[in-house]
Amino acid sequence: MFERLLPRWLAWAADPEQLRRAPFLARAPLFAGLPRRLLARLATRFFEKVYHPGEVVFEEGDPGRALFVVVEGAVEITRATAQGAYVLNTLGPGDAFGELALIDDFPRSATARVATPGRLLILYKSDFDALMEGNSRIALVVLRNLSRLLAIYARRRPVVATEPGPERAGPL
Amino acid sequence: MKPGRLLVWGGLAALAWLARGLVLPVFLAAALAYLLSPAVAWADALAIRRSVAVSALFAVIIAVLAVAGFLLGPGLLAEAAALVDRLPALARQIDVGLDAAVRELAESAPALRRLLPEGGDWVQRFVLNRGPGEPGDLFEHVGHLFLLAILVPFFAFFLLRDMHRLIAVVMDRLPPQHVETSVAVWRELNGVIGRYIRGLVLDGLVVGALAALGLWAARVPYPLLLGAFAGLANVVPFVGPLLSAAAAGLVVVLTPGQGLAGVGRVVLLFLVIKVLDDTIIQPFTIGRSVHLHPALLLGSVVVGSHALGVLGMIIAVPVATVLQETARLLLEHRRVLARRDLRLRSERPVV
């Protein structure tokens, strides 16, 4: 009787929201390699928000204070030029954007606009900093993943230092 | 404004006025929720349902309070009972001293006679005539305390359990362009208030324990009661430590055999505790949560005291810190946007 009831009670006592978030974050390239325990701690710091098509998450030049992870829907990353705005990338579930806000205080280098109805997870910089201070493993894994992403981008689009470079499509 | 909307706002204002009695319980409940929130965050990371985690946490707190009451309760009650028994004699003693001082002052400076209070037995009238003379008043006070003891944990339970849902609702209603700044402001404020309240409680516990131990070592009567008072009064900046030292000093003055040396020991003890608190305890407990200039800190306490009395003095520091942090974030946001607009204007082709 007890053996039958205990698993049922444990399943009821578990928070479905957290159980959904941690494995989802594990699939995001930025958090790949983080152990489950740390992913669970990280997941508690995220806010979730529903976005409608056409809504601007942030604009180029805005102060960057948070990282976003796409849970549902699609997000277009665009950049304005003299000829008009053009799409640099379209992100889907599991993709993260705005990650440079976790590292420096520079303004956003592109605009993020929601293309289809979606939900985003939002991690504020100070929360991430607090987690990094409390656990260097998170800092190490995330910064290694971020370096990998930057390396991939740099190989794809080498920048000539002496000339004004082309548009960037890497981390924002 | 449309009449319908005006009616809704008017109704809400009337409701807020009727519910003004709930301000203090909700404020205390929020403080309790902040105090307990790290335990709930820990349970969140283990993917435990909020209702289960908060219920378990309250069960543990009730158990801890029961054990603490079992261990410390009899001592505290005995001291309180002894103090109540001695209260008439103490009040008479203080009145005799005050009478003598007023008479002496009036004789040495007749010009001041008009300014000095007349009559006598001030303390006896203040302390002794209250309880038995106004039973309704006494029952009202006990009733308020009982209501607070029920309402505060009740509200704290629901704040801990449902606050994240409320935040989710607010987040979904926020315009997208304000989300990032709102999240930044909320998280900073949440962090500042949480660290401040947890630090303040820890600081009060350490100061109270040190005072109780020091008073017990100095053979001052009622060390547990005076230590508990010192810990509680410590939440009031500047005035709290003075009040607790004055209370202990008064007890020493009225205790036969302690004399001036006893007063000196108490003053020295509270001075040492204050120095330890400022240099060692507070940097560890409250630490980085408050970045106020000392002048702003003092000013905020004075303004808080004028506005809301003792409660204002307690909340002055976190409120000033919150205002400072909000202003910093909003100004930073404005500065970055102004820089962006300037850059866009300079990049615009000249026609």
Using an 8 Å CB-CB cutoff, list chain B residues near A117.
Answer: none
pLDDT reading at B123 higher than 60: yes
Cβ–Cβ < 8 Å for B231, B177: no
Confidence of residue B350 (pLDDT cuts 50, 70, 90): very low
Q: Range of B141's domain?
A: 23-173
Retrieve residue A78's tokens: 């665009």
At B264-274, the pLDDT tens digits run 888 999 999 98
**For tokens 């009740």, what's the residue?**
B154
Q: CB A58 to CB B188 under 8 A?
A: no
Rounded to whole angstroms, the Cα distance separating B190 from B38 reads 12
Q: Is residue A88 within 8 Å of A39, Cβ to Cβ?
A: no
Q: Is the pLDDT of residue B326 over 60?
A: yes
**Percentage of chain B surpassing pLDDT 90?**
17
Give a yes or no: residue B272 inside a domain: no
Residue B350 covered by a domain: no
Helix, strand, or coil (residue B305): helix
pLDDT digits (tens, 9 = 90+) for B232-259: 988 887 788 888 998 888 888 777 776 7
Q: Which residues of A touch B (CB under 8 A)?
A: 12-15, 18-19, 22, 37, 40-41, 43-44, 47-51, 55-66, 82, 107, 114, 122, 124-127, 130
Given pLDDT bands bounded at 50, 70 and 90, which one contains residue A165?
Answer: very low
DSSP B288: G
Q: Please give the residue of chain A at the shortest CA–CA distance from B175.
A: A55
Tokens of A44: 């508690």
CA atoms of A128 and A122, how far apart (whole Å):
11
Would you call B44 an interface residue with chain A, using a CB distance cutoff of 8 Å?
yes
Among the ranges given (A7-16, B81-90, B202-211, B289-298), the one the predictor scored with the smallest mean pLDDT: B289-298
Q: Is residue B94 part of a domain?
A: yes
Provide the chain B residues 137-176 that lie in CB contact (below 8 A) with chain A. 167-168, 171-172, 174, 176
The predicted model scores a pTM of: 0.73
Q: What is the mean pLDDT of residues A62-73?
A: 88
Cα separations in angstroms, A81 against A114, A165, A166, B103, B343 = 20, 13, 11, 88, 13
Task: Choose among A46, A105, A83: nearest CA to B329.
Answer: A105
Does residue B336 form part of some domain? no
CB nearest to A15's CB, from B41, B44, B191: B44
Is B187 an 8 Å CB contact of chain A?
A: yes
> In B148-183, which positions are buried (b, 16+ CB within 10 angstroms) versus exposed (e)?
eeebbbebbbebbbebbeeeeeebeeeebeebbbeb
Is residue B191 situated within a structural domain?
Answer: no
Domains of chain A: 17-156 (2.60.120.10)
Which of A61-70, A128-137, B49-58, B181-190 reaches the highest mean pLDDT?
A: B49-58
Tell me if A44 and B41 make a contact (CB, 8 A cut-off).
yes
For β-strands A56-58 and A111-114, DSSP reports them as: antiparallel
List the single best residue of A37, A39, A49, A58 to mutate versus B (max B Cβ within 10 A): A49
Q: Residue B138: inside a domain, yes or no?
A: yes
Reported as type and span, the H/E element at residue A75 is strand A75-81
More confident residue, B8 or B139: B8
Task: Check whether B280 has a pLDDT greater than 50.
Answer: yes
Our count of domains for chain B comes to 1
Which residue is closest to A40 within chain B, CA to CA? B45
Whether B179 and A49 lie within 8 Å, measured CB to CB: yes
Q: Does B71 touch chain A (CB under 8 A)?
A: no
CB of B223 within 8 A of CB of B83?
no
């006025």: which residue's tokens? B17
In a domain, B131, yes or no: yes
Residue in chain B closest to A124 (alpha carbons) equals B184
- The residues facing A58 across adjacent strands are A112
Residues in chain B: 351
Tally C-beta pairs within 8 A across A and B. Answer: 90
In a domain, residue B54? The reply is yes
Please give the Cα distance from B252 to B248 (Å, whole number). Answer: 6
Contact A57 B176 (CB under 8 A): yes
Q: Which of A14, A60, A130 sits opposite B49 (nearest CB)?
A: A14
Distance from CA of A63 to the nearest CA of B (A): 6
